[in-house]
Structure 1
Amino acid sequence: MSVLSKAWNWNATDEEWDASYPCDKYIEGPRQAFIRAVGVEAPAKTLFRWVCQVKVAPYSYDWLDNRFRRSPRRLTPGAEKLEVGQAFMVGPIVEFEPDRHITVLYGQAGERGWPPFSLTYAVTPVGPGCSRLICKAVMTSRSRLDRVRWFLLAWGDLIMMRKQFLVLKELAEKTAGEKTTGDETARD
């Protein structure tokens, strides 16, 4: 994989890259996509619960995207209660399936200078106590300016989402380990 292609695909398998995700149906016409993925040694249900936490905080570089406030290291009660229309990162949730995926649609044409885009956070079980976290983003790509914006967003997102995925992985694995040992109280 070339250095330039890293912006479009970080850690996803060919099957994950080729798969269809709910975000695909929200963007029509010429488009560009990127995908991120990470393996997690935690059950899909545990990992999905941590993905729901992204409603609460970004779990990336908190000094940059959370005004120096640390993203919670404990599960926030009620964060798993999803509804269509709820804010989730950059836009409202347009659809979800508990323990499987959350899909968000960002913006109308021209809003904040970015073309509309959609993204899906998907959690896939891959074995006993193991799962994969995948995020696919799709953006319109009708003009040269759209393609330049998308390229810049893909590189910035690679840095931010990689960090987010690694933090969510760590927290989900820690939670799974606590459940295995029977210690449900210490989550900080």
Structure 2
Amino acid sequence: MSQTGQFIVIEGLEGAGKSSAVELVHNIITAEVGHEPVCTREPGGTPLAEKIRDLVKIAEPNDPLCDEAECLLFYAARTQLITNVIKPALAKGQWVLGDRHNLSSLAYQGGGRGLMPLVKAISDASLHGFKPDLTLYLDIEPSLGLQRASQRGALDRIEKQHIAFFERARETFLQFAAQDSSIIVIDASQTMEKVHQDIRAELTKRLLLVSK
């Protein structure tokens, strides 16, 4: 297997099954590459980025977070994570497995919030073209995803958005996937067994390409 590090990201709406997918991909990479990947989540992944996660997840009735501030906070957390965790790991030849990355901001803040010009400007200015080697987008119809998410327990501030927000986000996810061959769409409305089968097949293709 090549010693070149790869950055693999799992994306999806609420209730799409990202957590179980991350666990599956972690196990596959560990078995096939020979070492555990560095696992990250967004927002979060560093001490400062985890504090930002609290800010964007928890509603403050007396000081509601405006859409533009939300967008800026996500990118502040992301640049901390890329600079202090992801790039150093990749430079060492390690694989990195991310629970969300920039595609989420494009979909949620860009599509869902209607801030696409701002999102693209901040993305260009802060990421300088840095992107995952492979993104597995777990696609699910928002009403089904939110139904699943509600069964996990209390919803956070973002999960409580109107369904139209998630419909716009999903449309944006699919638009970007159609334009980028490194983004693979997985039908997350299937049984977990079938979803994991599809993920395993796509990841195997990536592992074979890297090993050549």
Tell whether the structures are fold-level matches, with TM greater than 0.5. no
Q: In which range does the TM-score fall when normalised by the shorter chain?
A: under 0.3
Hey, which of these two has a bigger chunk of helix by percent?
A: 2
TM-score after normalising by structure 1: 0.24
TM-score after normalising by structure 2: 0.22
Hey, which of these two has a bigger chunk of strand by percent?
A: 1
